[in-house]
Amino acid sequence: MPEILDIARAQVLERGTGLDEAGVLAVLRLPDEHVPDALQLAHEVRMRWCGPEVEVEGIVSLKTGGCPEDCHFCSQSGLFTSPVRSVWLDIPSLVEAAKQTAATGATEFCIVAAVRGPDERLMKQMREGVAAIKAEVDIQVAASLGMLSQEQVDELVEMGVHRYNHNLETSRTYFPNVVTTHSWEERWDTLRMVRDSGMEVCCGGILGLGETVEQRAEFAAQLAELDPHEVPLNFLNPRPGTPLGDRPVVEGKDALRAIAAFRLAMPRTILRYAGGREITLGDLGTRDGLLGGINAVIVGNYLTTLGRPASADLELLDDLKMPVKALSATL
């Protein structure tokens, strides 16, 4: 057994202390034949420190496309030729989407908008939308609206938004290669305010943007320092018309190494599969990930591309004897 896995067994599995950057890098460099061992250990860590439950989440886009920022992987940027137009969802459709999400057994409904940060119009939509959902649907509401001011953080808390998603996307040193219209530090500032407000922090990113394996390890360590409640892990799905449209997809084995490594860096976090997993991992990979440290899935639509149908994931969870996490009794 490679030494790093023995260290991880003693440190992460037994004591619940995540691997540091050097440890993550060693896992990311494991030879192919030891990837199953790393996944097995990551699975044991997840079962020990998080339990068998899987959090099922739905996501809806309140405002799609036409974003003024230039994140090179994103088809919702208005600066590229990718074919996503700016579209707003109305409140009745938002409530309907929340109902459909709740009907799958999901406990989380995340409202997303492709913006640099919310303006008054978006905050008004949120006020009305969250109130309408809370009046009609039994589900926790999360939001992802870009960078926030302190007043906006306070307002979201007041609305009853319990979790906020804002991804760092990639390591601090690689970020300027991927985004030039705002900085990694600006994203970090929003995350700090969200964490201090008492909202749960959801923060992850995308692998396969051209970062080195060292920068992947750096990113995992930076996420671990933030200590988010949830980490969505995406693999680049290269979108036509974006600057990264021609990048190769992450190899399945590298994706599985990353899943194991990120779990070993963050034993207690909700680690979620987000976009791109179908093309990187396929159906088999979904199972491998759930048996390798992943404990949350999105049902239904991703933001701009279609994911697997909800029933396929729910059947898989049933198959794996992993119960869907229930709404907490405190609601």
Cβ atoms < 10 Å from Cβ of 284: 9
Is 202 annotated in a binding site? The answer is yes
The reply, when asked if residue 71 is annotated as ligand binding, is: yes
Q: Are 242 and 54 in contact (CB under 8 A)?
A: no
110 carries a ligand binding annotation: yes
- Contacts to ligand SF4 by CB under 6 A: 67, 69, 71, 74, 76-77, 114, 116, 146
* CB-nearer residue toward ligand SF4: 159 or 178: 178
**29 vs 116, beta carbon nearer ligand SF4:** 116
Nearer to ligand SF4, 76 or 170 (CB): 76
272 is in an annotated binding site: yes
Specify the 3-state DSSP secondary structure of 126.
helix
Instruction: Tell me whether residue 187 is annotated as binding.
Output: no
Minimum distance, C-beta of residue 87 to ligand SF4, in the bound complex (Å): 13
Contact 40, 260 (CB under 8 A): no
CB 146 within 8 A of CB 116: yes
Q: What are phi and psi of 227, to 5 degrees?
A: 55, 60
**67 is an annotated ligand-binding site residue:** yes
CB of 253 to ligand SF4, least distance (A): 27
SS (H, E, C) 278-318: HHHHHHHHHHHHHCCCCCEEECCCCCCCCCCCHHHHHHHHH
Nearest CB to ligand SF4, comparing residues 69 and 218: 69
Q: Which is nearer to ligand SF4, 76 or 269 (CB)?
A: 76
Least distance (Å) between residue 198 CB and ligand SF4: 24
CB of 201 to ligand SF4, least distance (A): 17
How far is residue 84's CA from residue 87's CA, in Å, rounded to a whole number? 9
Q: CA 288 to CA 115: how far, in whole Å?
A: 34
Q: Minimum CB separation from ligand SF4 for residue 303, in Å?
A: 8
Q: Cα 310 from chain centroid?
A: 17
Binding-site residues for [2Fe-2S] cluster = 110, 202, 272
